[in-house]
Amino acid sequence: MSDYLKALALSSALSLASAPTQAAPPQGIRLVDARHKAIALPRPAQRIVSLQPSFTEAICALGGCQALVGVDRYSTWPMQATTLPQVGSIRDPDIERIIALQPDVVLARPNHRVDERLERLGITVLTLNAQSYEDMERELETLAQLLGRPGDGTRLWRQTRERLEALRRQMPAQWQGKKVYFELHSGMAAAGEASFIGQTLQSLGLVNIAGRDLPMYPKLSPEYVVRANPDLIITMADLPVPPPERQGWGRVTALRGNHYCRIPNAEFDVLVRPGPRIDEAARHIVQCLQRMPLPAGGMDASKR
């Protein structure tokens, strides 16, 4: 684990531990999930199976790692999660192994039929589906309540937003107001302005070429990107820049100025997971911009 992650984990743990935590109500835990379905547990969850890396990270950031008894194969943070039994993924869950772990609750995303299969077998499923900052705030507090720590999710989110604001102040002034294209899945999708990734970019003062009139994760044609002419492109490290098959991209301002962030795959995971480490995602972007040549005609620092 990097020094940053150690510091983040320690800071969150100390802050949450020192904050007053209300006891679970006598009637137990009552929540509403992403399906608008009421979920009831007689007490805070003691045995949790997570089928999504962002859920695993959130549970651990809230101090509940010890409640996890199984995780999906993509849960790689924190290190403690990698030692837990793996139960496949949201797309190919190992149902028999999940049952053998005797969970109080399984955390899943809706619309994958996993919830239906498990609930038919008598297992409680809580579905979550954060797509924006507002969703993430609610999701963190839902998980805090699941752990019997109401209020901790709201506090963790407030700390995260404070770190994001500090990172915005570290942005080179010349990048304020510049256009950005954030590519996902080798061009199969982009991060739209309304998505949580788009909100992170906006929080840093960047302007997304995939505006709010588009879906959260639209597929943008190469021609669209050329017309939008972004000043900055953010992709995974294994994608060649510019992609040889994309005609006209040599004219894009970002490529002519070598203004692109090719984020290593392991770090790219942090950028695309709607969890408690979005401030670390923002830090990767800020550090990339601090290293690259400055663009022409940026906003004056006094106007930020």
Phi, psi dihedrals of residue 22, rounded to the nearest 5°: -75, 145
Is 33's pLDDT higher than 80?
yes
Q: DSSP label at 275?
A: S
pLDDT at 6: 43
At residue 5, the pLDDT reads 38
CATH number, domain of 218, equals 3.40.50.1980
H-only helix segments in the chain: 3-18, 53-61, 95-100, 114-120, 133-146, 152-169, 196-203, 222-228, 253-256, 265-272, 278-291
In the chain, how many domains are there? 2
In the predicted model, what is the mean pLDDT of residues 226-239?
Answer: 92
Q: Are residues 176 and 272 in the same domain?
A: yes
Percent of the chain as helix, strand, coil, to the nearest 5: 45, 15, 45
Least confident segment among 94-98, 263-267, 289-293: 263-267
108 lies in the same domain as 190:
no
- Pull the structure tokens for residue 265: 């795959």
Q: Which two tokens stand for residue 262?
A: 């090719």
Nearest alpha-carbon partner for 146 in 223, 78, 228, 45 = 45
Q: Which residues, other chains included, contact 14 with Cβ-Cβ below 8 Å and sequence gap of 6+?
A: none
* Structural domain span for residue 286: 171-297
Taking only the tens place, the pLDDT of each residue in 97-121 is: 999 999 999 999 998 999 999 999 9
